[in-house]
Amino acid sequence: MTIDFNKPTLIAVPGVRIPASDHPLALVITLTPARAEELLRDMRHVTKLANHSSRIFKFCPFESQAAIMATADLPYQPQPEDFVVLPPDFRITESVPTHYVQADIFPWSVCWTACDQTESFIVSATEISAPLLQLIAKGEIIQPGTSKHTLTTRFTGTAVFLNLSKYREPLR
């Protein structure tokens, strides 16, 4: 992998549409190294808060560099519960007008939720874990077509909310 701190990485994540539809949608997220580092920093902060609370924390900032589009219009089709890296020259030619796109930042992962402009449906996207964001934050160029199943640095531990230190301590 080569390094380029100026090139964003385009990632397509399949979405679950509510209410359901026969036309699958995906969210295309543009992640720069700076944005990936910001998401990682927020993950660490959420993890720190979650370690000292009986609740699971998440941050939900708005995402300005995202679009909803038909999965069929993508050069690579993301599998369910996966993501796919798009070519750096990919251009969105047609997208669904959005009311908002929100990043849901949890300990060690982030997913996105979007609502169309008329608020007739919501799209909830598959999560992306910290190892992918770490590669992007380092400025590494990830080959188009890469998915979590082909990424060698993917997270393979237990459910992250069960891996917090507060759950390793004995109950009183």
- pLDDT tens for each residue of 92-130: 988 999 999 999 998 888 999 999 999 999 999 988 888
Where are the strands (E) in 71-163, listed by range? 84-85, 98-106, 109-116, 122-125, 128-129
Q: Residue ranges of the domains in the chain?
A: 9-168
* pLDDT, position 40: 94
Share of the chain above pLDDT 70, in %: 83
Instruction: Map tokens 């990485």 to a residue.
Output: 9
Contact status, residue 145 vs residue 85, Cβ threshold 8 Å: yes
* pLDDT, position 159: 47
* pLDDT, position 158: 45
